Amino acid sequence: MKLWKKDNTSTSELIETFTVGNDRNFDLLLAKFDVEGSIAHVTMLGEQGLMSKADANKAIEGLKKIHALILSGAFSIAENMEDVHSQIEWMLTNDIGEAGKMIHTGRSRNDQVAVDIKLYLRAAILEIKEEVIKLFNLLIEKSNQHKDVLIPGYTHLQIAMPSSIGLWLGAYAESLVDDMEFLSAAFHVSNKNPLGSGAGYGSSFPLNRKRTTELLKFQSLNYNAVYAQMSRGKTEKLVATALASIASTLSKLAMDNCLYVNQNFGFISFPEELTTGSSIMPHKKNPDVFELIRGKCNRIQATPNELSMLTNNLPSGYHRDMQLTKEIIFPAIEMLKSCLQMMHLMLSEMRVNNDILKDKKYTYLFSVEKVNELVNKGIPFRDAYIQVGNMINEGSFSFDANQALKHTHEGSIGNLCNDEIVNQMKKIAGAIAI
């Protein structure tokens, strides 16, 4: 069934297959939100006198039954149905009769799918927010737990200066704070109501768009009917940018874990059940989970560009190209959620080597500490630098790695400022709420 079908017309089967594509599969993710949008729309139609109170109430009760069916997992889209909108309207009309045919009054599939996607993205962002916070809290917990365990810090992947497990993990916690800023921006753009914009040019019916905005708990509405349609693609791209920011953090953290679990580093380890083996080498404990997180998150980082290539240079108004945004952004959302969950699982079981810097290969890690020690004795920095450089060249450099390092400034080994980072996250994440 097609909502736009007229009597005595038909569409080529090849054309229908091509235009529908994979949309039914992705529409299943929108079904719950399609019903919720329809309930709000019908409620408004009844209040505005565009449906009788009795018909509106009958339609709302019927829609609630379909909503319950969707939540139970028993809902499906029949092969002869073009999309989720057709399926729901057909089911409703079969159930309640003529009143089911009235629910499309004052709207188009264009604003119907637009509001479905906004509701879906808003809900997805809230889920991702919770997964980010779970990982953030674990990073802070582990950072505080291992704040005194020293590890080498690197520049150019060369031994540089002393770092710590606490400083390392705290860095990724703060990175997630900035990622949450992107997620917050995406949430606020997704939290605007396009319903009532119709096909992109409004309606001659006296719709109350502020009422549907209130019913669906949107923060505000997309006021301009043309822009409400133009926001499709743009909203998805902004959400994808937020996903890509989080994915970038996860990818880098995954790479660090791949390095640090390597025998040549040996900073951390994981239980055998969280690693995989080799078909030929019995000693192998491979960090496959981190490698897959890295690979998947690198794919996610390509999502904004893919959406840009799909939507760039389109004129105003609706275009069928927009249908394809679903098959780009929806899988990326699910992929990111699984990567966040797996990163949390892995790091919750991470074991830390407490004696890393006893290895003599890390001796020069303390060259700057030695320079600073001389500076504190009154030697100008540049002269102290030359003295320590000469010691290294002559092979006479030494430094007691067991002596306490005095790093006191904000964000250093001895002053992680994790409480301040936690407060930043609470402030930003707190604004992402309905």
Q: Over the stretch 71-120, which tens digit does the pLDDT of each residue have?
A: 999 999 998 888 999 999 999 999 999 999 999 999 999 999 999 999 99
Answer yes or no: do 127 and 80 share one domain: no
Q: Which domain holds residue 375?
A: 360-394
pLDDT digits (tens, 9 = 90+) for 367-412: 999 999 899 999 999 999 999 999 999 999 988 777 778 899 999 9
Answer yes or no: do 116 and 101 share one domain: no
Phi and psi at 160, nearest 5°, equal -120, -80
CA gap 86, 113 in Å, rounded: 12
- In the prediction, which pLDDT does 284 show? 74
State the CATH number of the domain containing residue 76.
1.10.275.10
pLDDT of 277 > 80? The answer is no
pLDDT digits (tens, 9 = 90+) for 110-144: 999 999 999 999 999 999 999 999 999 999 999 99
Specify if 381 maps to a domain: yes
Answer yes or no: do 305 and 263 share one domain: yes
Specify if 244 maps to a domain: yes
The letter for the amino acid at 211 is R
Answer yes or no: do 300 and 332 share one domain: yes
Phi and psi at 110, nearest 5°, equal -65, -50
Mean pLDDT of the chain: 93
CA gap 77, 25 in Å, rounded: 9
Answer yes or no: do 53 and 119 share one domain: no
* Nearest alpha carbon to residue 433 among 148, 244, 190, 238: 190
As given in the structure block, the two tokens for residue 350 are 């991470």
Task: Decide: 355 and 165 in contact? Cβ < 8 Å.
Answer: no
Specify if 157 maps to a domain: no
- In the prediction, which pLDDT does 399 show? 84
Answer yes or no: do 116 and 99 share one domain: no
Pairing between β-strand 220-221 and β-strand 192-193 as defined by DSSP bridges: parallel
Torsion of CA 52, 56, 58, 63, to 10 degrees: 160
Answer yes or no: do 256 and 292 share one domain: yes
Answer yes or no: do 87 and 115 share one domain: no
Answer yes or no: do 51 and 126 share one domain: no
Torsion of CA 229, 230, 233, 234, to 10 degrees: -130
pLDDT of 275 > 90? The answer is no
State the CATH number of the domain containing residue 351.
1.20.200.10
Residue that finishes a domain, picked among 358, 376, 403: 358
Specify if 49 maps to a domain: yes
pLDDT of 147 > 80? The answer is yes
pLDDT of 5 > 60? The answer is no
Specify if 174 maps to a domain: yes
Answer yes or no: do 354 and 367 share one domain: no
Specify if 341 maps to a domain: yes
CA gap 49, 69 in Å, rounded: 29
Specify if 408 maps to a domain: no
Q: Give the confidence band of 262 by pLDDT, cuts at 50, 70, 90.
A: very high
SS (H, E, C) the chain: CCCCCCCCCCCCHHHHHHHHCCHHHHHHHHHHHHHHHHHHHHHHHHHCCCCCHHHHHHHHHHHHHHHHHHHHCCCCCCCCCCCHHHHHHHHHHHHHHHHHHHCCCCCCHHHHHHHHHHHHHHHHHHHHHHHHHHHHHHHHHHHHHCCCCEEEEEECCEEEEEEEHHHHHHHHHHHHHHHHHHHHHHHHHHCEECCCCCCCCCCCCCCCHHHHHHHCCCCEECCCHHHHHHHHHHHHHHHHHHHHHHHHHHHHHHHHHHHHCCCCCCCEECCHHHCECCCCCCCCCECHHHHHHHHHHHHHCCHHHHHHHHHCCCCCCCCHHHHHHHHHHHHHHHHHHHHHHHHHHHHHCCEECCCHHHCHHHHHHHHHHHHHHHHHCCCCHHHHHHHHHHHHHHCCCCCCCCCCCCCCCCCECCECCHHHHHHHHHHHHHCCCC
Answer yes or no: do 132 and 271 share one domain: yes
Q: Give the confidence band of 62 by pLDDT, cuts at 50, 70, 90.
A: very high
Report the domain count for the chain.
Answer: 3
As given in the structure block, the two tokens for residue 190 are 């997704």
Answer yes or no: do 82 and 125 share one domain: no
pLDDT of 194 > 50? The answer is yes
Specify if 173 maps to a domain: yes
